[in-house]
Amino acid sequence: MSVSCVQPKRIADQMYVSFDRARSCVRRLNGTHEIGCQSSTSGNSGRMYMIDNDQEFNSFITDTKLIDSYRSFIIALNVNLFTTSYVDKLMTSLGSKLNGLLLYLKSSSSRPDYFSQDDQSPNHRYSYYLNQTQVVNWNPQGNGLFFRSFPFPMMFIDEQEDYERLVKFYRQFNISQSTPTCGLELSTFQNAAHTSKTCIRRNGISHSLLDSSETMCDPVGGLNVYSKLPQSLTIAPKIRQPKSVILILAATDSFQMFLKEKGPTGGAQQPATALIIFLSLAHLIGQEQNEFNQQDKEIIFVTLDGDALDYSASFKFLFDMKNGDFPTGNRNEDPIRSEHIHSIIEFQSLSLTDKLSLYAYPSALANQTFIDTLKQNNPMIVSAMPDSPLPPASSQIFLRETSSSSFPVYILTSNHENELSNHYYHSFFDDPSTLAINISSLEYNSTTEFSQWVKLIVEPFAQTLIEYFVGSTKNVTIKQEIINNLVYCVLKNINCPLIHNVTNQTTGNAFDSFNETSLPFSINTYPTSPAVTSRFVQSILSYLLRDRMLDTMNLTEKACEQLSKNDSFRSYTYVGGYTPSIMSDAFFSGYCVRSYSRSVSSMSPAFTIDNYDLSQTTYPVWTESRWSTISLRLFIIPTRKHEIVTLVIGILLLSTSFVVCLILRYYTKISLLQPSSS
């Protein structure tokens, strides 16, 4: 036999069946406690018991004979039963015998009607209404399980092939108590524990003879990005006028209880829909920049990365503003402070609905002309009642940290009677199918119901901004192709032609490793997480808001580089160009993009202020634990009879080996003592 044909297997590989695509629940911490799940250092294991429906659930928790016959259980639970009620009943019935929980999804068509582990009132810990007794349950189906701490690991199988393998083994071995049964091992040990304060302190402690410190956790945060038309600069000695800045906000993060190293993160409705509208609007503002450049108003587009957990990114943005660090970069640019803000417009929690709600607060400052014009241009928009409670939105922190009588905020969202329209708020089930998109058939220039809906929103919005801030009436249109491309890039493949058209080769190549990957909307940790979402947004935003005058100039890459040497306020990039966005009749082999764009850390100010006590609640102090191994393995647990037989056979073999060794030793001595015949 040829040596190359030998394929040895480790014993461990033959003992276990691994599920490498499972999602896992991890540990996170804040200033007062920890949330999430984890296993012991060696993993948690136990007898697998599968529960598919309410009847099977009730049958199991009342079967004391079965429960008493095993030391520990790993419960495989239909994801439709993953609610506070069922989880609490399992923990009460099994006590310390509950060694882990494995959720499974039978098929994409069997997903629950509602699935959200966020609170019923998201981000209520730091809302604008913190000291008020009235609480609005914007997410009434939220069960809050994300914010609970569990003493056992949880994992989730969402691939149908993995579910079918799991069921196959379970049915094969779990026939009766007299036959071998299936066991599961969940390994999700987390380094961090207790609180963020404890964990950050432990980060600097040496844990080995090599005197090298081990990082236990990382602060939550990514990058805030902001961009504007590059012509609108206020450079000293020129002073920025009060009420001259309009901020347009969108979020770029979400969270879900169960993470997967490679796979969709959810966030199609929140925040992807708002982000696509946000970027489409940026294109129209860039397209009509001649109208806006004649005004003394600046429109700044801002994306916030970290607001899903207690608005950390907004706190950091306002902290920078208060300290004169907005905008960052050249100190000769007059800083923007709260008195310079004219108004804030935010796109938040948008869904594919026939009606959109516009919240304006405070009503005393809200401009009724702007509201009426917007509603006239877009009949889909309905005004909320004056001074209605605001939905979960970053604007709440802008109102809270400044004076709520300084400027109005306008929040466009999808809800019905103070309930968000998103049934999968902060869940990976919030996927493109909730937007009537078949992701498998979506192409780069596919026109979908959703992309047409975006067009119906963004064109009237841009038209209203021109009418209100410029004072002229003008019909503005965006090519459907541009929205189609954005939808494809954000929801299916960020390594799309668009990102390569608007970046240089070096930046574009960084997206190659994310081919066929949707834009990830998850909790980032600073500075360890790859900031691919922020890089993507900044690259697209910079190009859409570029100085269009340079589109008509056939500049070489060298000439573009020379321009950058004489301008410390704006950036210059030589790119291939995105044809649908170019208004010029002439097309060139390359374009010099002059843009104004900045990115800064969105990590909570609590981690940047010297000697800040992380147990305080002035700022959110979320951290995420580090881990080394995440694994889910299935194995076979033999029957009691089989274990006894194996033990007896082992003892007999051991005894026999001793006897044989004694006999061999005796005769060997005799043989060695015999004189040689020679």
pLDDT per residue as tens digits for the range 94-121: 999 999 999 999 998 899 999 999 999 9
**Bridge partners of residue 464, in order along the sequence:** none
Query: In the 3-class helix/strand/coil scheme, how is 474-528 assigned residue by residue?
Result: CCCCCCHHHHHHHHHHHHCCCCCHHHHHCCCHHHHHCCHHHCCCCCCCCCCECCC
Residues 6+ apart with CB under 8 A from 512: 495
The percentage of the chain sitting over the pLDDT mark of 90, rounded to a whole number, equals: 76
Instruction: State yes or no: pLDDT of 643 exceeds 70.
Output: no
Query: Looking at 227-241, 521-535, 543-557, which range is the least confident one?
Result: 521-535
Beta-carbon count within 10 A of 594 CB: 22
**Of 425, 364, 418, the residue nearest 122 (C-alpha):** 425
**How far is it, in rounded angstroms, from Cα 195 to Cα 190?**
13
pLDDT tens by residue, 362-412: 999 999 999 999 999 999 999 999 989 999 999 999 999 997 788 999 999
Query: Looking at 203-207, 280-284, 303-307, which range is the least confident one?
Result: 203-207
**Maximum C-alpha span of the chain:** 123
Instruction: State yes or no: pLDDT of 8 exceeds 50.
Output: no
Residues across the chain: 678
What class does CATH assign to 221-546+595-603? alpha beta
Domain parsing of the chain, residue ranges: 11-191+628-640, 221-546+595-603
Pairing of the two strands 181-187 and 591-601: unpaired
More confident residue, 566 or 90: 90
Instruction: For residues 494-502, give the mean pLDDT.
Output: 97
Which SS3 state, helix, strand or coil, does residue 290 take? helix
More confident residue, 427 or 8: 427
Average of per-residue pLDDT values in the chain: 91
483's tokens: 């929205």
Q: What is the pLDDT of residue 5?
A: 41
The percentage of the chain sitting over the pLDDT mark of 70, rounded to a whole number, equals: 93
CA dihedral 450, 256, 253, 262 (to 10 degrees): -80
Q: What is the pLDDT of residue 675?
A: 61
**Of 146, 141, 168, the residue nearest 156 (C-alpha):** 146
**How far is it, in rounded angstroms, from Cα 362 to Cα 400?**
12
